[in-house]
Amino acid sequence: MANDTLAGIGEAIRKAAAAYADALSAVGKALQDVAGSAAGADRDRLVENWLRVARMSKDGVITALEQGFELWEREIRRTAALARSAGGERPSNPADVWAENWRRATEAFGNVGGWGDEARKQAEAVQKTLQDGLRAWQRLWEPDKK
């Protein structure tokens, strides 16, 4: 298990970085589309929602990297027979927490002027891109789950 896990960490990092870059590109395009519209409360709210989505994207990737490093360190220590003391619990699955927070964020787009449905669809597409890229981390973090 350790060799498979260690070998997969580099690939997981590449996929997470690519997913993050794709997500930021999609959010950037959405913000460019909004920037051309007339100023107003609806536009400002939409911009803030997109910035929230971008921040959540960053937070998700950082969380995945942190978990990946913890996994890498744990496997290195186990492989080197420097096992940590017994009783350390695995943290709760932050991917589930992230997915729930993302669902709430997309709902926040609601009916912002005429932009609500389109913004929600774009946010869902960004979420899918990130989730696809972060699945490699989930497989490494929870190898016993199918």
Give domain limits for the chain. 2-141
Quick one: what percent of the chain has pLDDT higher than 90? 3
Q: 29-33, 50-54, 73-77: which has the minimum mean pLDDT?
A: 73-77
Residue 61: pLDDT over 60: yes
Query: Distance between CA atoms of 6 and 29, rounded to whole angstroms?
Result: 36
Query: Distance between CA atoms of 103 and 52, rounded to whole angstroms?
Result: 12
Quick one: what percent of the chain has pLDDT higher than 70? 76
Within 10 A of 28 (CB to CB), how many other CB atoms are there? 12
Q: Which DSSP symbol is given to 80?
A: T
What's the rounded mean pLDDT across residues 31-53?
Answer: 85
Q: 19-23, 44-48, 127-131: which has the minimum mean pLDDT?
A: 127-131
What's the rounded mean pLDDT across residues 41-62?
Answer: 88
Range 127-132 contact pairs with CB under 8 angstroms and sequence separation of 24 or more? 127/102, 129/19, 129/22, 129/23, 129/26, 130/19, 130/20, 130/23, 130/57, 130/60, 130/61, 131/99, 132/19
Q: Do residues 132 and 18 lie in contact, with contact meaning Cβ atoms separated by under 8 Å? A: no
The pLDDT of residue 98: 75
The pLDDT of residue 5: 67
* Confidence tier at 82 by pLDDT (50, 70, 90): very low
